[in-house]
Amino acid sequence: MSFRYCSVLFCGLAGILSLSTFPNSAWAQSKQRNCPEPALERFVRHQVAPEESLKAIAQSYNVTPETIIRMNPAIRNGKVTVGKEIIIPPYDGIVVKVGRGQTLKQIAAQHSIRADALFEVNGCQENPEVVFVPQLKKSQNSTQAASTEPNVLETISNSNKLNGYPLAENTAVAFPYGWQINPDNGEVFFHSGIDLSAQPGTSVQAIGEGIVVLAQEQGSYGNLVIINHSNGMQSRYAHLEDIKISAGEEVNKGDLIGTVGSTGTPTLKKPHLHFEIRSSSSLGWVAKDPWEYLK
């Protein structure tokens, strides 16, 4: 059951933080940008059953007891009360109030988290008042296990990285990856991919072998092809004029998947291919810098 905040107080090491309801208009805009549902919209209420312990509840939701305690300051000495409702986040983390003039990039740096992941976890809001900051779950029984546990913001495996190029020839970068200024309105936003200059009709090719999981019109992306590769990696090719492949097909590196176009709502007006690389994590498909994979 989805949980929306009205006036819940959270106590933690940072003090007392008041949360307000996530604005419906902001979430509607996020959905239009193909963003995941914000973590703050995915909290659930759990009614404590007889003989149910905090540890058992935490295990059932795959979070740590410490996370539940942070979200429910009424819990004392690690004991839950039968019949009481507690709120549980979708994964381990903390709730942080965004200070006046503070940016998501600054918050991400403070908590050693990828800025793009924090942006997506919170529904791609550009000016949130409150954010959920995910945290790496560490084993309390083994420091070695904690050091080897994969970070939730990293890909399932870092081996066998993709190495390819989505166009037949190298071209100029029309708009880079990361925090950028929108050329139309001057607003700061996170650009989850890289725009490569190319003329309409230019052939677009797969950068590696994989399986096509989407090949259709997709909102602001326009005509979009998504390919899942091995080791939890994914490549995306957006604003295509034509799609030459179908979902479910297997492709090899260099196979034709479409042509450059201007469908959807491109950030730039001049012709280009919007290309993304994402990695699978417990937070969903997290955007990575495509430049590291363009060879």
User: How does pLDDT run along the chain (295 residues), one tens digit per residue?
Assistant: 333 333 233 333 223 233 333 444 444 444 445 577 888 988 999 999 998 899 999 988 888 999 999 888 788 888 899 999 999 998 888 999 898 889 888 998 888 888 888 888 888 888 888 999 988 654 333 333 333 333 434 433 333 468 899 999 999 999 998 888 888 877 777 889 999 999 999 999 999 999 998 999 998 899 999 999 988 899 999 999 999 999 989 999 999 999 999 999 998 889 999 999 998 876 678 888 998 899 7
The conformation of residue 151, written as its DSSP 8-state character, comes to: P
Burial degree of 187 (CB within 10 A; 0-12, 13-18, 19+): exposed
E strand or H helix at 229 = strand 223-229
Rounded distance between C-alpha atoms, residue 271 and residue 294, angstroms: 19
Domain 173-293 bears CATH identifier 2.40.50.180: no
Q: Where in the chain is the domain with CATH 2.70.70.10?
A: 173-293
Beta bridge partners of 133: 94
Strands 210-217 and 203-205: unpaired
Tell me the residue type at 255: D
Report yes or no on whether pTM surpasses 0.75: no
Would you state the structure tokens that stand for residue 108, as one six-digit string? Answer: 């991400």
